[in-house]
Amino acid sequence: MHGYELRKELATKLGTLRAAISYGTLYPTLKRLQAAGWIGEADTPDSEVIPPLTSRRGRVVYKITAEGKERFAELLANAGPETYDDAGFGVHFTFFSRTDRATRLRILEGRRRRIEERREGLRDVLARAGDRIDAYTLELQRHGLDACEREVRWLEELITNERSGRSPSGPADLAPETHPETPRPNQDRP
């Protein structure tokens, strides 16, 4: 892919997990990956290279190298503490379909512990705060606590599924929840 396509693909895959990746971040990263030998310029027929409007130079199309594939596999196999944090977890989770079950379980369990710690911290803040914080700050803390509780439940479900060998629900399974007005097949209708 060339940079523009890669940026769109990353936005699709990472979605709400990351802010939009700027070209000022993307292209220096691509240069570092190329310097490390993990990506290279793809050989493309001239008809496929579309010159940008502001330049006579064609777009550079990148491809992953064999070394890049090995490095990617190493990164996916990593299940250290950095994979439990918000950014690290989101990126690893995006590529869970390419990750072995044992690694997925280690990451999910580590993430659950991290969110449980965050949840307990928020509970402590709320218990100690009493009347010392204003109503809006209190609501923000409650919102954070609710989000942690939801994430812990979600992680527990994912861990249960991983241990039993089941995959998470696919997009088709989400349709009735996404569109509540759409009756479910087994739902009683008035």
Which tens digit of pLDDT belongs to each residue from 36-73?
Answer: 999 999 876 554 444 444 444 578 899 999 999 999 99
Alpha carbons 126 and 160: distance in angstroms, whole number: 30
Alpha carbons 81 and 114: distance in angstroms, whole number: 9
Please tell me whether residues 116 and 58 are part of one structural domain: no
* Neighbouring-strand partners of residue 61: 2
Between 126-130, 131-135, 170-174, the lowest mean confidence (pLDDT) is in 170-174
Q: For residue 181, is it within any domain?
A: no
Q: What is the pLDDT of residue 34?
A: 93
Alpha carbons 131 and 113: distance in angstroms, whole number: 30
pLDDT band at 163 (very low <50, low <70, confident <90, very high): very high
Please tell me whether residues 155 and 111 are part of one structural domain: yes
Among 158, 68, 152, which residue's Cα sits nearest to residue 105?
Answer: 158
Please tell me whether residues 66 and 110 are part of one structural domain: no
Q: Quote the mean pLDDT of the chain.
A: 81
Q: What is the pLDDT of residue 44?
A: 60
Q: For residue 37, is it within any domain?
A: yes
Alpha carbons 5 and 112: distance in angstroms, whole number: 34
To which residue do tokens 């190329």 refer? 34
Please tell me whether residues 17 and 51 are part of one structural domain: yes
* 84 pLDDT higher than 80: yes
Type of residue at 117? E
Q: For residue 184, is it within any domain?
A: no
Between 49-58, 93-102, 146-155, the lowest mean confidence (pLDDT) is in 49-58
- The token duo for 163 is 């241990």
Q: Which of 77, 100, 122 is the last residue of a domain?
A: 77
Alpha carbons 160 and 34: distance in angstroms, whole number: 40
Please tell me whether residues 55 and 72 are part of one structural domain: yes
Q: Are residues 176 and 182 in contact, defined by beta-carbon separation less than 8 angstroms?
A: yes
Alpha carbons 104 and 110: distance in angstroms, whole number: 10
Q: What is the pLDDT of residue 184?
A: 42
Q: How many domains does the chain have?
A: 2
User: What are the φ and ψ backbone dihedral angles of 169, each rounded to 5 degrees?
Assistant: -60, 145
Q: For residue 189, is it within any domain?
A: no
Type of residue at 5? E
Type of residue at 129? A
Q: What is the pLDDT of residue 39?
A: 93
Q: Which of 77, 107, 133 is the last residue of a domain?
A: 77
Q: For residue 46, is it within any domain?
A: yes
- Residue 114's domain spans which residues? 81-167
Please tell me whether residues 90 and 160 are part of one structural domain: yes
